Amino acid sequence: MSNQMRRIAIIGGSRIPFSRSNSVYSEKTNLDMLSATLQGVIDRFDLDDKQMDEVVAGAVTSHSKDWNLAREALLSTSLSPLTPGITLQQACGTSLQAALMIGAKIATGQIECGIAAGTDTTSDPPISFGRKFSQRLVKMGAARSARQRLAAFKGFGFSELKPVLPANGEPKTGLSMGQHCERMAREWRIPREEQDRLAMESHQKAARAYDEGVFDDLVTPWGGLSRDNNIRADSTMEKLGNLRTVFSRSPDATLTAGNSTPLTDGAASVLLASEEWAKAHSLPVQAYITAGRTSAVDFVHDEGLLMAPTVAVSEMLKKTGLSLQDFDYYEIHEAFAAQVLCTLAAWESEDYCKQRLGLDAALGSIDQDKMNIHGSSLAVGHPFAATGARIVSNLAQILEKAGSGRGLISICTAGGMGVAAILERD
């Protein structure tokens, strides 16, 4: 290993178009999509038959048969089969965390290159039986005689055959992410109109980015799509305002299908390397990962489930000596419009920053014209584990086209965690 920390170069990324669940990709699997996005990176950067040091990837909604999804996916591509595959899962922060893990190994000289990726589909959810019936099947499989097989079903009732679907909720609270976010919106007094406006602008910016060719290098047509099918270029405040709330019928509820991300299928990946490896392969560097941080909140005891990015960003800024205003671009994952607005409000709150973040003053406000300039998850969609790689690739390209600058990434996740990173270009 190197005695001196090396820079973590982002070469670039590729993703497949994102699709609303149970639509165009309804017959596709996580393996299909992850293989496709990895192949996109391979094709873009001429990596056919090349041995990479690592592929780190994962999915949030996965089947038990996908026991090492990253390895199986890379074996379905034209990468060298000598490339190791590591499967990781950290909810919506999965592929950003994968990038940070690969980056740490590059920085310390353990490896030279790697691909971070994520995929998710809720069109192909793992459906299982309850524990009682599952145990019967295990006993039947271990039986050595017909009598033992019959004994495994003693007392069987047809109610045991009721399938168990994946729960869209926090195991510790029983509440969905949307219900938790409704609580946050009430606590921070985030108006419905502000949420709808942020959602509308996200759709408009994403549609404009496609029309201007911004995503031509980042999005590889696949599976019948050439662009994300959730984007609504004609989104208006009136249309969004007519939608009913979906997570609560309370008079003060504000979250709708329009200002919340839809369930989405898709995959994204990004290539990282040392500067030496990039130069040896004649690949220009788009940007560098210069910092990262993962934090958590105690949402079980009433902290906001999706407020952990406020902590992660604060702790990362403290370590780097930067202020919240020292950035040219901000990529804040739009799990819900309310989540983004709660995060911004918290950073502006002197009480919150002093009492929760342990600071001497508020972090302050940001220039929202620099935030999610090509739209984000509300518009393009949010295949849970894929979002981090999408954002890293998007921000790296923005910095490359700008010629220089610094960008902040903030991603909230299920389980009350937040993952943050800083990207820079000289």
Q: Give me the torsion for CA of 162, 166, 171, 174, rounded to 10°.
A: -70
Nearest-angstrom CA–CA distance, 168 and 243 = 21
Nearest-angstrom CA–CA distance, 327 and 341 = 18
Using an 8 Å Cβ cutoff, are 28 and 107 in contact?
no
For β-strands 329-332 and 405-413, DSSP reports them as parallel
Q: By three-state DSSP, how is residue 129 classified?
A: strand
Residues acting as catalytic residues = 92, 382, 412
Q: If you search the block for the tokens 């595959």, which residue do you land on?
A: 85
Using an 8 Å Cβ cutoff, are 420 and 411 in contact?
yes
Paired strand residues for 316: none
C-alpha 263: how far from chain center: 12
Q: Nearest-CA neighbor of 310 among 176, 410, 186?
A: 410
Q: How far is CA 275 from CA 46, 54, 58, 61, 236, in A?
A: 17, 17, 26, 35, 45
Using an 8 Å Cβ cutoff, are 130 and 71 in contact?
no
Q: If you search the block for the tokens 């922060």, which residue do you land on?
A: 93
Alpha helices in 217-287 (DSSP H): 237-241, 275-280
b/e 133-153 (16+ beta carbons within 10 angstroms → b): beebeeeeeeeeeeeeeeebe
Amino acid at 202: S
Nearest-angstrom CA–CA distance, 157 and 171 = 27
Instruction: Name the region of 271 (left: φ>0; alpha: ψ -120 to 50; beta: rest).
Output: beta
Amino acid at 222: W
